[in-house]
Structure 1
Amino acid sequence: MKAFLKNSDRVAIPVIIGLSIAVPVIVFVLMLLPERYNFLGTDTITFPLFHALLNFGTAMLLILGYFFMSIQNYVMHRNTMITAFGLSVIFLISYVISKISNEPVPYGGEGILRYVYFFILISHIVLSAIIVPLVLFTMYRGLSGEYDKHAAIARWTFPIWLYVAITGVLVFLFMMPYY
């Protein structure tokens, strides 16, 4: 093993770490905004529905990408995973805009569903922060041709990313009556 970083690592790793810190901090700060600016004029449900569709699409692409990897169709695996990443980037940009635009909507459910909802929501939020560096490192290692490193990190990235995508849809379904 080399004792020094490759030239591309010297740029990519600090960028990945920076984004991995900046993204959750930006989202957290936006949650605390005293005022919202609905500059797009959207209804309350517009962004959550769009986000659920993006999460559903991401989950389907992740499963499809896993399938392509399992049958060793690495070109289709790469293309599918890049598309899943693209949907996640669109989600993130849209999510930031939604936090600027709309007030948070409280969950109104009661009983056992309330506990189930908050378990799903809290695990979704925590893993959403964790998934940012995992996805970025996995993508970087795969696209830079470091397939052993890519496979090692993808073993963790795939199930967490899939869980985050699926629970994103579930959060929407739980919240749908309250939008």
Structure 2
Amino acid sequence: MNDKFIARLITGVSIFVLIVVVILQSNVLNIFPDKSAIPSWVFFLPKFNAMVNGTCSILLLLSLYFIKRKDIPTHKKLNILTFILSSLFLVSYIIFHATGIKTTYGGEGIIRSVYYFILISHIILAAVVLPLVLFSFQKGLQMQVAAHKKLVRWTYPIWLYVTVTGVIVYLMISPYYTF
């Protein structure tokens, strides 16, 4: 596969995922209009997603540690594992939001503003990070080190921010879950 094809594929996948997430957030598709028909395991997914995000945060930090020590094989394995877990998170996120379950944040005062700042920055950067991760992976797997480093300068801090804030958002909203 040539770089042009891969770039188109990454762009297409990123746009597709963004559209799916926007549709799910707008509640246009409600697969389970009868909430009693939702399988019970679905209600565990927000906690599962937070655990996956927390694990990804740790793996990203370990990946940085190992690349600083020039241990490329370990760095590569950690990043592949993080990518797999992030992909699992995305599937789980889509499944949960396809149910139409909505939770409103109930905090008041300054903490409400803090929550929405974290949530909005998390959502925006989560949309931005997907193509960055995919392009970074492409360059890394092809051992195009200079291009990989250039991309990762942006990808890494954004990906780490998204995984950490994913956990924070969960911890802040979970007391308001009604399921």
Give the alignment's TM-score, normalised by structure 1.
0.92
Matched, 1:79 2:73: no
Match of 1:146 among 144, 147, 150: 144
SS of the aligned residue for 1:149 comes to helix
Alpha-carbon contact 1:58-1:84 (below 8 Å) kept: yes
Q: CA deviation at 1:32?
A: 2.2
Which of the numbers 137, 144, 155 marks the counterpart of 1:157? Answer: 155
Deviation at residue 23 of structure 1 after TM alignment: 0.8
1:128 aligned residue: 126
List alignment gaps of at least 5 residues for structure 2. Answer: none
SS at match of 1:108: coil
Q: How many angstroms apart in 1 are the aligned matches of 2:20 and 2:176?
A: 25
| Aligned counterpart for 1:54 among listed residues 30, 33, 52 | 52
SS in 2 for 1:72: coil
Equivalent of residue 25 in structure 2, options 9, 26, 31: 31
Q: For residues 70 and 94 of structure 2, what CA distance do their matches in structure 1 show? A: 36
Identify which range, 40-49 or 118-127, moves more after superposition. Answer: 40-49
Structure 1 CA distance for aligned equivalents of residues 8 and 64 of structure 2 = 28
- The one-letter amino acid paired with 1:113 is I
Q: Is 1:16 the counterpart of 2:16 in the alignment? A: no
Counterpart-to-counterpart distance in 2, 1:127 and 1:10: 25
- Please report the RMSD computed on the Cα atoms of aligned residues, expressed in angstroms: 1.5
Deviates more, 1:129-138 or 1:17-26: 17-26
Could you tell me which amino acid in structure 2 is paired with residue 92 of structure 1?
L
In the other structure, the counterpart of 2:116 is 118
Percentage identity across paired residues of the two chains: 40
Partners in 2 of 1:172 and 1:108 — Cα distance?
A: 13
Distance, in Å, in 2 between the alignment partners of 1:113 and 1:75 is: 42
Which of 39, 64, 68 is equivalent to 1:41?
Answer: 39
SS in 2 for 1:110: coil
Take 2:89 and 2:38, find their aligned partners in 1: how far apart are those partners?
16
Aligned to 1:3: none
Q: Which amino acid aligns with 1:24?
A: L
Deviation sequence 1:46-95 (CA, Å, 0-9, x none): 11101100100100000000000000000000000010000000000111
